[in-house]
Amino acid sequence: MKKIVLVALCVLALTGTIWARGAQSGGGGTRISIITMDNMDEHWLKLKAGAEDKAKELGVTVTFDAGNKFDANLQMSIVEDAITKKVDAILLAPIDAEALVPVYNKAVAAGIKVVLVDSRANVDYACLIGTDNGAAARLAADEMAKAINSTGKIAIINAQPGAGTTMTRENEFKARIASQYPNIQIVGTQYSMGDPQTALNQATDFMTANPDLAGIYGCNEGSTVGAGMAIEQAGKGGSVALIGWDWTDNTLGLVNRGVLSASMVQNPYQMGYLGVQAAVDLLGNKSVQKDMDSGVTVATRANASSIR
C-alpha cells in the first residue's frame, strides 16, 4: 500500500511540474484570465466570445471572471485570485482607473502580462485595446445636437463614477456641448452603476423635474436601456431624444421603436480577440502596439440592419 501511495504522489508531482512548464511556455498550457466589469452586459459577453475564438486558434486557455455590477473592490479581489493562481496573463477591464492600480502593479511584479481592454488604468501599461471613447463621445454630442436642433435641456446618466471609460464619455460629451452648442443646457448628471432599473428611475426623475427636457445621454448600455424604458413609459418617445452606447437586442429594439436616436456601437468582440493575441505576443517577448483602437460606429434607424 505504501508503495502505491508513493508512486501516486510521484505521478502527481511530475504532472504538476509538466503543467507548470506548459503554463510558462506560451503553448497549450498558457492560461489567460479575462476580468471584466460585470458578467451580464452583452458587451462583456461579446468580448468573452472574441477572446475564446482567438484562444482556440492559438491553443491557449482562457477563463472569464467578473463580479457584480461595477464593484471595484470585488474586481480587485478577482485580480488577486488570478495572481495567486499564477495565471500567465490577464485581460483586464478596470472598473476604476485609480483603484485598480495596486493590483495591476502587483500582477506585473509577479511576472504576469496584463493587457487592458475597453478601459484604462492610471498606469504605464504595455497594451490597451478599446474604443476611442473621447472621439465617440464627441460624436454623441453632435448626434444629440442634431436630434434636438441644437437647443434645449438635456440630462446625462452615466455608469460608475471613476471608471476611466465612462468618465471620458461623460467629460468629452460635456466639453463638446459647452464649446460647440451654447443653446444646449445640461441640467444634471446621475450615476446608475450601469443598472437599467436605476437608470429608469433617474431618467423619470429628470423628466419630472424638467417637463421641457429635450434629451438624455446614456453613457453605457445599462444607462441607455434604462433611460429608454423611462422615455417609453412616459410616452415621450420621439419628443425626448435619447443618445446612448452599445448594440444589444435591447438597444436595437429602442432604435427600431424610434426611442433611441443614435447609439455609439463599439466592437467588444475585437477587444477580446486582439487582447488574447497581444497577451500571447507579450508572453513570447514580441513587440505589441501600445494603443489599439477597436473602432466605433454610429448606429441609427437608417443603418441598424447592417450592424452586427
Percent of the chain with pLDDT over 90: 78
For residues 282 and 126, the answer to whether their CB atoms sit within 8 Å is yes
Average pLDDT of the segment spanning 138-159 = 98
pTM > 0.85: yes or no = no
Q: Are strands 297-299 and 61-65 parallel, antiparallel or unpaired?
A: unpaired
Whole-number Å distance between alpha carbons of 209 and 291: 42
Orientation angle between helical segments 221-233 and 249-256, nearest 10 degrees: 40
- Residue 67's pLDDT is what? 76
Whether residue 35 is predicted with pLDDT greater than 90 in this model: the reply is yes
- CA nearest neighbour of 114 among 305, 288, 265: 288
pLDDT tens figures, 188-202: 999 999 999 999 999
pLDDT of residue 93 exceeding 90: yes
pLDDT in tens, 232-263: 999 999 899 999 999 989 999 999 999 999 99
Q: What is the pLDDT of residue 7?
A: 39
pLDDT in tens, 80-92: 999 999 999 999 9
In the chain the domains, ranked by start, together with CATH numbers, are 2-131+268-294 (3.40.50.2300), 133-265 (3.40.50.2300)
Mean pLDDT, residues 10-26: 32
Task: Report, as an integer, the average pLDDT of 44-54.
Answer: 95
Res. 1: pLDDT tops 60: no
Cα separation, 48 vs 200, whole angstroms: 27
Please give the Cα distance from 104 to 108 (Å, whole number).
6
pLDDT the model gives residue 38:
86
